Amino acid sequence: MALYTARIEIRLKKGTADPEGKNTEKALNLLGIKAQNVKSVKLFEMDISSKTKKDAYDVAEEACERLLANPVTHNYRITIKE
């Protein structure tokens, strides 16, 4: 068994409202920081013990499908490192 680190980025799909991003953009502009198209992204990192990198990816993907991401509103990207 090897220890792998999964990095999972969860983003809203294009066209999905992002109130957190909009509020952050407004706050930044009020502070005088010129910001546009601010988007919120969730980032998860987890260590996974598995036989192969592919097995670790499969575990991370199951985590996304079962808990971390809503397939209707989210896209996700998984990166696995040893």
DSSP 8-state secondary structure symbol assigned to residue 63 = H
Number of domains in the chain: 1
Which residues, in sequence order, are bridge partners of residue 77?
Answer: 9
**Other beta carbons within 10 Å of 56:** 24
Q: Give the domain CATH number at 64.
A: 3.30.1280.10
Question: Could you give the dihedral angle defined by the CA atoms of residues 42, 45, 50 and 56, in that order, rounded to the nearest 10 degrees?
Answer: 30
* pTM, entire model: 0.88
d(Cα 8, Cα 18) in Å, to the nearest integer? 19
Per the structure, the complete domain to which residue 50 belongs is given by 2-81
Q: What's the pLDDT tens digit per position in 27-64?
A: 999 999 999 999 999 999 999 999 999 999 999 999 99
d(Cα 45, Cα 8) in Å, to the nearest integer? 6
